[in-house]
Amino acid sequence: MKFRTCENWLFDLDGTLTDPKEGITKSVQYALSRFGIPADDLDVLIPFIGPPLAVTFREEYGFSADDTNRAIAYYREYFTRQGMFENKLLPGIPELLSTLSNQGKRLFVATSKPIVFARQILEHFGLDRYFEQICGSELDGTRSDKTELIASIIQQYGIDPSRTIMVGDREHDIIGAVNNGIAGIGVGYGYGTETELMNAGASYFAPTVMW
């Protein structure tokens, strides 16, 4: 498949369009502190970047369903107050999006992050103007799974999977794409490894933004 000729482009947000490490890890750190769990090294919390929060709190800390819900609520206390803007625009992303937009591509954001936060972040960086629609989860966790989210985008916007690309930095992005019959580009400048992305079924690995 010639990726540049594809009509529809779906982009993950965290680690693909922006680098959210500081804000996400500090929000998790704050949430864990409310449980009396120290997390002084923010690098230990990098696994929280990308996957749905509920999944990572369960997998990394063995939280019950009730504790997971409490942890997410604590996380959002910090994230809403300041964490969402402790974020950096990845170099080359505006140029890439501008190029694709000028070529007449349909661009969508497909993120596990709640829509309400994703919109504010994209507006903050001036990226919202490139996208036909910003698609994400609801605050109750609905559509936080990438397979479910991408299926919803395909149905709602009449997208042909054979003419569509999903761009993301974690295996969840690629698995969601493959499960919907969409080719995936795994990017190497985010938080997933080439091995993780290719094992998940990526059709192509892009080590830098300018691929």
* Residue 211 binned pLDDT confidence (cut-offs 50, 70, 90): low
What superfamily would CATH give domain 3-20+88-206? HAD superfamily/HAD-like (3.40.50.1000)
How far apart are alpha carbons 133 and 69 in whole angstroms?
Answer: 28
* Residue 3 binned pLDDT confidence (cut-offs 50, 70, 90): confident
Tell me whether the CATH fold assigned to 3-20+88-206 matches the one assigned to 21-85: no
Question: Domain-by-domain residue ranges, the chain?
Answer: 3-20+88-206, 21-85
Choose, from 12, 14, 19, 145, the residue flagged as catalytic.
Answer: 12
Residue 54 DSSP SS3 = helix
For residue 19, indicate whether it is catalytic. Answer: no
pLDDT digits over 56-100, tens only? 999 999 999 999 999 999 999 999 999 999 999 999 999 999 999
Query: Mean pLDDT throughout 25-48?
Result: 97
Is residue 1 pLDDT above 60, yes or no?
no
- Count CB neighbours of 39 within 10 A: 16
Percentage, residues of the chain above pLDDT 90: 92
Q: Would you state the pLDDT for residue 5?
A: 79
Query: 0.85 exceeded by the pTM?
Result: yes
* Residue 2 binned pLDDT confidence (cut-offs 50, 70, 90): low
Contacts of 16 (CB under 8 A, 6+ apart): 90, 167, 168, 169, 173, 187, 190
Position 129: which residue type?
R
pLDDT digits over 140-160, tens only? 888 889 999 999 999 999 999
Mean pLDDT estimate for the chain? 95
CATH of domain 21-85: 1.10.150.240
